[in-house]
Amino acid sequence: MIQKVISPKTDKLTAVKGMNDVLPPQSAMVEWLESKVRKLMARYAYRNIRTPIVERTPLFVRGLGEVTDIVEKEMYSFEDRLNGDPLTLRPEATAGVVRAALEHTLLYDGGKRLYYIGPMFRHERPQKGRYRQFDQIGAEALGFAGAEIDAEMILMAAALWQEIGLHDVRLELNSLGQPAERLQHRKALIAHFEEHASVLDEDAQRRLYSNPLRILDSKNPKLQAVIESAPKLLDFLGAASLAHFDTLKLILDANGIAYIINPRLVRGMDYYNLTVFEFTTDRLGSQGTVCAGGRYDYLFEQLGGKPAPAVGWALGVDRVLELVKASAMPEFSPKLDAYAIVTEVAALPIVLQTLQALRLAGVSVQMHSSTADGMGSMKSQFKRADTSGARYALIFGSDEISAQQVTIKPLRTTHAVQHVQSLADVADWAITLQSDA
Ligand code: ATP
Ligand code: MG
């Protein structure tokens, strides 16, 4: 293990490469998206699940598959300092959700619809749309076998694009069939790649016999021709798998959801079977996958539990927001109702008491506060009030305080007029404010 010595005085305390701070006002965008998602999930009857960020490493090795990019080279793994347990910062959340479902026998009384929002960790080369800590929003429907749930998942994502004003994400669909079908395809695939062994890169050669399906997911441009001509898994599917796929397509057609069948579409984890899908865009270069998912009917067993069918997707918050930013910009930042201008230090107790009453009545108020130079002039406070975007200035001057009043001055409209309000019934103003909001 490599140990770097930190000299506390000279080393700059910067964030870890690929792990970003989200500052206001950008953080308001994240909150905006999250609030859209929470409302949407509620309408589809999905409930929030919160699993730990740290899990035991074998969960991911067994769940995602040993010969996957994530397990081979992207996991942040370490040993628990106290007992040596191998632990990993979650690179994705599906494995953790299934672990939790098993651990708490969540499916004892039927299927469960769940969603999560939170950070994931992968040691990737940082670039736009690809980070080492990134937020995902994901949905998982556990215990349901039919293609109608695959459709519900896709419709839910499509509804989200509509809600947030994204109109140019494409849906790509494929079916990975069942393990027995994949085995037949695998033989044909190995034969095909053996024939073209000379063009395979190092990764592909290593995976030729361990996990040849993964070669299809290679992003190496030199491999695209040999991937293009490889035998298609769809041609190996039996009647039941095809029927599942057909039902899904029928439901999507009935809902006017356009899709492209992409027979090369495989996903980065080994747990998928039958339906897999990706929502993609051309606007993010090679980081074009915005949301991805599929069915994983064997993961429960693989993690040592009673078999249960399941399907889910995850979307990358950064990539989605990147697209939103480039589209019509909605109003993200919460609007401020009022800015409190305070000239008398002696009045602070009554000012804070008044503001507390207003906030409890639902009014958002930013209070002018002193800096090392003091409170500042009335004029400079008004400037602050103006740039704050608040609709009203609440003026707590000496005249007002001695009369037990506050002057309420509209900052944005010409038709509203300035008035004084007695401090005792300042909460009444909150009611008029709500009615003209
Ligand atoms: P890609 O093919 O772009 O590497 P993936 O197959 O690894 O994506 P998943 O693991 O299925 O992606 O994750 C779902 C979504 O999470 C992706 O579509 C993407 O939007 C987002 N995502 C994945 N990895 C990153 C990352 N390193 N940084 C930011 N977002 C990511
Ligand atoms: Mg990846």
* 3-state secondary structure at position 378: helix
| pLDDT reported for residue 405 | 97
Does ligand 1 lie within 6 Å of residue 319's CB atom? Answer: yes
Query: Of 142-156, 200-214, 325-339, 361-375, which has the strongest mean pLDDT?
Result: 142-156
pLDDT band at 285 (very low <50, low <70, confident <90, very high): confident
The 8-class DSSP code of residue 304 comes to T
Structural tokens at position 128: 């736009």
- CA–CA distance, 322 with 314 (Å, rounded to integer): 16
Residue 422 CB coordination number (10 Å): 12
Helix 317-326 with 26-43: angle, nearest 10 deg: 110
Together in a domain, 51 and 138 = yes
Together in a domain, 45 and 144 = yes
Domain span at residue 382?
338-436
Together in a domain, 318 and 362 = no
pLDDT single digits (tens) 371-409: 998 899 999 999 999 999 999 999 999 999 999 999 999
Query: pTM for this one?
Result: 0.91
**Nearest atom, ligand 1, residue 286 CA:** 3
**Nearest atom, ligand 1, residue 122 CA:** 27
Does ligand 1 lie within 6 Å of residue 92's CB atom? Answer: yes
Structural tokens at position 346: 């002696």
| pLDDT reported for residue 163 | 95
| pLDDT reported for residue 3 | 62
Gap from CA of 54 to ligand 1 centroid (Å): 19
Q: Does some domain include residue 350?
A: yes
- CA–CA distance, 200 with 195 (Å, rounded to integer): 10
- CA–CA distance, 203 with 167 (Å, rounded to integer): 36
Q: Does some domain include residue 19?
A: no
pLDDT band at 437 (very low <50, low <70, confident <90, very high): low
Q: Does some domain include residue 201?
A: no
Mean pLDDT along residues 300-307: 96
pLDDT single digits (tens) 16-27: 999 999 999 889
Together in a domain, 266 and 397 = no
- The angle at the Cα of 283, spanning 282 to 287, to the nearest 5 degrees, equals 75
pLDDT band at 435 (very low <50, low <70, confident <90, very high): confident
CA nearest ligand 1 atom 16, residue: 316
Q: Which CATH number belongs to the domain containing residue 103 in this structure?
A: 3.30.930.10
| pLDDT reported for residue 5 | 61
Q: Which of 326, 352, 383 is the last residue of a domain?
A: 326
Together in a domain, 114 and 50 = yes
Asked if residue 259 lies in contact with residue 172, where contact means CB atoms within 8 angstroms, the answer is yes
Gap from CA of 282 to ligand 1 centroid (Å): 15
Q: Does some domain include residue 187?
A: no
For residue 140, pLDDT over 70 is answered with: yes
Together in a domain, 372 and 284 = no
Does ligand 1 lie within 6 Å of residue 65's CB atom? Answer: no
Nearest ligand to the C-alpha of residue 268? 1
**Nearest atom, ligand 1, residue 319 CA:** 20
- CA–CA distance, 28 with 336 (Å, rounded to integer): 13
Together in a domain, 288 and 408 = no
Q: Does some domain include residue 94?
A: yes
Nearest ligand to the C-alpha of residue 64? 1
Q: Does some domain include residue 225?
A: no
Give the up-direction half-sphere exposure of residue 215: CA atoms within 13 A in the CB hemisphere.
Answer: 33
Q: Which residue has the higher pLDDT, 195 or 3?
A: 195
Together in a domain, 298 and 360 = no
DSSP 180-247: HHHHHHHHHHHHHHHHTGGG--HHHHHHTTT-GGGGGG---GGGHHHHHTSPPGGGG--HHHHHHHHH
Does ligand 1 lie within 6 Å of residue 289's CB atom? Answer: yes
Together in a domain, 319 and 395 = no
Q: Does some domain include residue 370?
A: yes
Together in a domain, 169 and 69 = yes
pLDDT band at 7 (very low <50, low <70, confident <90, very high): low
Together in a domain, 312 and 345 = no
Q: Which residue has the tokens 């950064």?
A: 318
**Helix H or strand E segment including 279:** strand 273-280
pLDDT band at 326 (very low <50, low <70, confident <90, very high): confident
pLDDT band at 202 (very low <50, low <70, confident <90, very high): very high
Q: Which of 279, 296, 326 is the last residue of a domain?
A: 326
Residue partners of 152: CB distance under 8 A and separation at least 6: 44, 141
Q: Which CATH number belongs to the domain containing residue 351 in this structure?
A: 3.40.50.800
Pairing of strands 419-422, 310-316: unpaired
Q: Does some domain include residue 20?
A: no
pLDDT single digits (tens) 249-281: 999 999 999 999 999 898 877 889 999 999 999
Q: Which of 284, 299, 326 is the last residue of a domain?
A: 326
Ramachandran region of residue 143, left (φ > 0), alpha (ψ -120 to 50) or beta?
A: left
Together in a domain, 309 and 368 = no
Asked if residue 132 lies in contact with residue 15, where contact means CB atoms within 8 angstroms, the answer is no
**How many separate domains does the chain show?**
2
For residue 83, pLDDT over 70 is answered with: yes
